[in-house]
Structure 1
């Protein structure tokens, strides 16, 4: 789990860095033609796509780590809590309303993600739910939001149906340099916020009362984590669609490599999440070439068994 006791291993850090570097090299150079055509494909298509995959995977992974810490539960991730579904619903609604893509869509996705997360937290405080019950609430909310999205698509014209379906399948094909630059700035700002609060994340795991006694402003910290997580998820969803389970898998894998202290765990989670997204995208492009598979399908195929394994480990304790 993202906050299990472990130890920081130099070998684990080296293995992680080596794996990410090798995966990047493979994804960037695979099946490129020689000459000017290959260079043009690399700079105009391949490099932006790999960069988008890395940023989206890194963002979803870090958001998953923040939410696992906030809920103090190893099975939490944006998709299971309905955060991704809320962002997708808002993004599809924004598209169908014909609003300006570049300005309104990211804001709408952020609001949808935040409202979903706030709904789960409000129910937790109202009914004093345990962590396992929160997951059930999140799954139910995810089902409702997904059904609402499907209803919007059924009622949409053909052009809206094609545009909205992109968010339901997940893809890194829509990589554009202006979007990449904006996403990179947002991701760096939010990661800087997270790195500066690594100690606060560690203190939070002791419990809200203990964290308050140690000087942490509990309400402000919870609110900041909610909005930061929502912004990161919205950043990914607005351009790549709903891609599940990266936020669940990456923190667990990273914690096995570098330990449970957030100062090491957060950067490692970022790298693991980016690597998982690049790996899934590479499989999506090559597994059934020339047909391209939706990335969201592949991450679900890997993530669902991973979720069951973690769940089984918790039951055996």
Structure 2
């Protein structure tokens, strides 16, 4: 039986998505506009919000720290580096930009897994290594932007700020397939994730293969972040706020916490896209800028509360 909380979240998602489909000037809209522009844009926003929320939840579980978000491991920065490299070379195409971003994210994932093997399961040091990788990738992006021409600079800057305007059906459908498989995997691992929160020694005592479990969490989260960033650019803080809001609902078991986080991630991303379109209409704000303006103060507030407690 569906709980009242789930019912409310589902109703909110439905209302937000319908509102997103009807945002802006609806006069004289042809059916092709809905199919080729409105619907894929809303679905991309929903996909990005769900992917980042699930990745954020898994990483917060992995590090047992509610202040961790997907961008900290450097996967987002690696994807950005791959995309900016293609843009600075003057290359383009439907598949090339997202594939290069995806390749950059996977390269970063390989580096993280290699470092993780050397650190023998030290989560704190792995997080610091991710921050270092993030800084290195950011520096390389800045280098490419500084030596690129003005056109490449504008294109790369626009992509890095995050947007759902580049939604394409083939990439979108592929992303949703991966997301659904990731949700199914997380659902099957819900009990293991609950056990993991008790501590590594307790997890080992209960029979959990923590090395394999850690690797799989990193792979799933990196894949989700790579697909989201490859299609949407830099959309920050959704992966931090959605799981935190789900926990504020009093949810602790992952069979409830995971869907709530995903639903809230969808709501946050679609609402951010609507605000980006409406605040200075007919101009449009980059979605990533808007999520950062909202998410950064929220992160500081969470950090201060955690420090005081």
TM-score when scaled to structure 1? 0.87
SS at structure 1 position matched to 2:95:
helix
Deviations 1:203-224 (A, max 9, x none): 1111122212211111111111
Contact 1:89 1:112 in 2 (8 A): no
Provide the residue aligned with 1:82 in structure 2: 74
Provide the residue aligned with 1:67 in structure 2: 59
Structure 1 position 49 matched with structure 2 position 46: no
Closer/same/farther in 2, CA of residues 154 and 106 from structure 1, 3 Å limit: closer
More deviation in 251-260 or 210-219? Answer: 251-260
Closer/same/farther in 2, CA of residues 118 and 87 from structure 1, 3 Å limit: farther
Q: 2:275 aligns with which of 283, 296, 300?
A: 283
Contact 1:123 1:129 in 2 (8 A): no
Structure 1 position 114 matched with structure 2 position 127: no
Contact 1:109 1:238 in 2 (8 A): no
Closer/same/farther in 2, CA of residues 249 and 217 from structure 1, 3 Å limit: same
Contact 2:46 2:267 in 1 (8 A): yes
Q: 1:245 aligns with which of 216, 233, 237?
A: 237
1: CA distance between counterparts of 2:54 and 2:14? 19
Contact 1:32 1:42 in 2 (8 A): no
Provide the residue aligned with 1:153 in structure 2: 145
Unaligned runs of 5+ in 2: none
TM-score when scaled to structure 2? 0.89
Aligned residues: 305
Once the 2 structures are TM-superposed, how far is the Cα of residue 137 of structure 1 from its aligned partner? Answer: 5.4
Aligned-CA RMSD value: 2.5
Q: 1:232 aligns with which of 224, 241, 247?
A: 224
Contact 1:67 1:77 in 2 (8 A): yes
Closer/same/farther in 2, CA of residues 116 and 255 from structure 1, 3 Å limit: farther
Closer/same/farther in 2, CA of residues 215 and 99 from structure 1, 3 Å limit: farther
SS at structure 2 position matched to 1:80:
helix
Unaligned runs of 5+ in 1: 1-8
SS at structure 2 position matched to 1:43:
helix
Provide the residue aligned with 1:268 in structure 2: 260
Contact 1:169 1:294 in 2 (8 A): yes
Contact 2:54 2:239 in 1 (8 A): yes
Once the 2 structures are TM-superposed, how far is the Cα of residue 159 of structure 1 from its aligned partner? Answer: 4.7
Structure 1 position 256 matched with structure 2 position 248: yes
SS at structure 2 position matched to 1:59:
helix
Closer/same/farther in 2, CA of residues 28 and 129 from structure 1, 3 Å limit: closer
Deviations 1:31-53 (A, max 9, x none): 34345x34332222111100000
Once the 2 structures are TM-superposed, how far is the Cα of residue 16 of structure 1 from its aligned partner? Answer: 1.8
